[in-house]
Amino acid sequence: MTEAATDFPVVPDLHWSDELHTGDARMDETHEEFVRMLADLRALPAEAQLPLYRELTAHTEAHFAQEDRWMLATGFTADNCHSLQHKSILDTMRAVETHYLQGDLDIISRMADALAEWFPMHARSMDAGLAQHMRSLGFDTHTETLPDPSRVRPASMSGCGSITCSD
């Protein structure tokens, strides 16, 4: 579709690249799956998108829950801005399915475009910052353990964990 046909700017395809790497292998693996699913979704016609959209939503729920666990384990408050952004994205994704089922068949495509536009900045800022923070503590994302839990003050960080903002 052209921009004139949709009245929305055309969002470029999102592909996994070195620019999206956070420095944590487990996080990057999850992100790569997300990017691949999103690309597959964007390639489908609107009337065929719902099953994969539901899979993407479930994947995103698990993806965000994983990062939220890591944040709590490494000293973030439960209501930190990174987790709040996760909640906002998931709330929107769930609402999109409702609108699709009510007949707005283009809404999944619009959401997929929005996710493709949003994700790179989120990965390069909030997620890269979280990965850096976890590395600084020696947090193991595979076992979800800390070598020295005494280095973390529980619920002491309320910032977003981004490399571009302070906590």
Q: Is-contact 74 129, C-beta < 8 A?
A: no
- pTM for the structure as a whole: 0.87
Q: Is-contact 55 112, C-beta < 8 A?
A: no
pLDDT the model gives residue 12: 86
The burial of 7, by beta-carbon neighbours within 10 Å (0-12 exposed, 13-18 middle, 19 or more buried), is given as: exposed
Q: Which residues of the chain have pLDDT under 50?
A: 1-5, 162-167
Dump pLDDT digits (tens) for 147-157: 998 888 776 66
Every domain of the chain and the residues it spans: 23-136
Dump pLDDT digits (tens) for 120-146: 999 999 999 999 999 999 999 999 999
User: Of 60, 11, 10, 54, which Cα lies nearest the Cα of 35?
Assistant: 60
pLDDT the model gives residue 153: 79
Beta strands in the chain (DSSP E): none
Homologous superfamily in CATH for domain 23-136? Hemerythrin-like (1.20.120.50)
Q: Taking each helix axis as running N to C, give the angle between helix 107-122 and helix 25-42, from 0 to 180 degrees, rounded to the nearest 10.
A: 150
